[in-house]
Amino acid sequence: NAGVMQNPRHLVRRRGQEARLRCSPMKGHSHVYWYRQLPEEGLKFMVYLQKENIIDESGMPKERFSAEFPKEGPSILRIQQVVRGDSAAYFCASSPEGTAAFFGQGTRLTVV
Amino acid sequence: EDQVTQSPEALRLQEGESSSLNCSYTVSGLRGLFWYRQDPGKGPEFLFTLYSAGEEKEKERLKATLTKKESFLHITAPKPEDSATYLCAVQANQAGTALIFGKGTTLSVSS
């Protein structure tokens, strides 16, 4: 039973480019969460999705960030026109019922 | 405001030297408290969930306990492979299902 799969593991983007981060939840899990971890900061909630629905996006910046979890395929976190402050580790977590969340290995985004 | 505070920020132990990590929380209503372990460059690894005051859970050298205001992660006779950052998180009734994390305690165990 594979765990939560995230790719790419490392992503380098120039300022102004777009970043797309992908997350495949564990088999049987229909709840997906995205968190961001900045250097010296704790993990911060960004968005919670179920298939084809955004349930809670209260932690998502209002501009440039979007997320989706289509009927088929992985969940995508999209960051448009990246800035240096977007450099962080982005983690995806999944759960079967919205309880304990199991995390992927993360995508480390570096904006140069 | 819901908040989680972990102490100490860093802890150095000798192999076999038992100790405890603290997680204090302020939430509008606790749905669950979670402990994770995170190794450098990796994602958090789930350890325990506690739901009510007085509850305890154990796994190998780790034991987690919960009161109405805080949780402790007790490490008995630690080994160097226990070195990691330990994260505490709470799920509050009014925060949906999102977890609110503390900044973690970085544990180093030397032989």
Closest CA–CA distance from residue A14 to any residue of chain B (Å):
22
Nearest to B99 among A31, A41, A101 (CB): A101
Q: pLDDT tens digits for A51-95?
A: 889 999 999 999 999 999 999 999 999 999 999 999 999 999 998
pLDDT the model gives residue B92: 84
Q: pLDDT tens digits for B9-26?
A: 999 999 999 999 999 999
- What band does A1 get if pLDDT is binned at 50, 70 and 90? low
Question: A91, B44: Cβ pair inside 8 Å?
Answer: yes
Question: B96, A59: Cβ pair inside 8 Å?
Answer: no
- In whole angstroms, what is the distance from residue B45 CA to residue A21 CA? 20
Q: How far is CA B4 from the centre of its chain?
A: 11
Nearest to A102 among B42, B46, B91 (CB): B46
pLDDT the model gives residue B11: 98
Q: Residues of A82-110 as b/e, b for ≥16 C-beta within 10 angstroms?
A: beeebbbbbbbbbbeebebbbbbbbbbbe
Tell me the DSSP string of A83-104: -GGG-EEEEEEEESSSSS-EE-
Question: B101, A105: Cβ pair inside 8 Å?
Answer: no
Question: A43, B98: Cβ pair inside 8 Å?
Answer: no
Question: A56, B97: Cβ pair inside 8 Å?
Answer: yes
Q: Long-range contacts for A84-89 (Cβ within 8 Å, ≥24 apart)?
A: A84/A15, A84/A111, A85/A111, A86/A19, A86/A111, A87/A111, A88/A36, A88/A37, A88/A38, A88/A39, A89/A36, A89/A37
Nearest to B98 among A33, A42, A91 (CB): A33
The SS3 call for residue B59 is strand
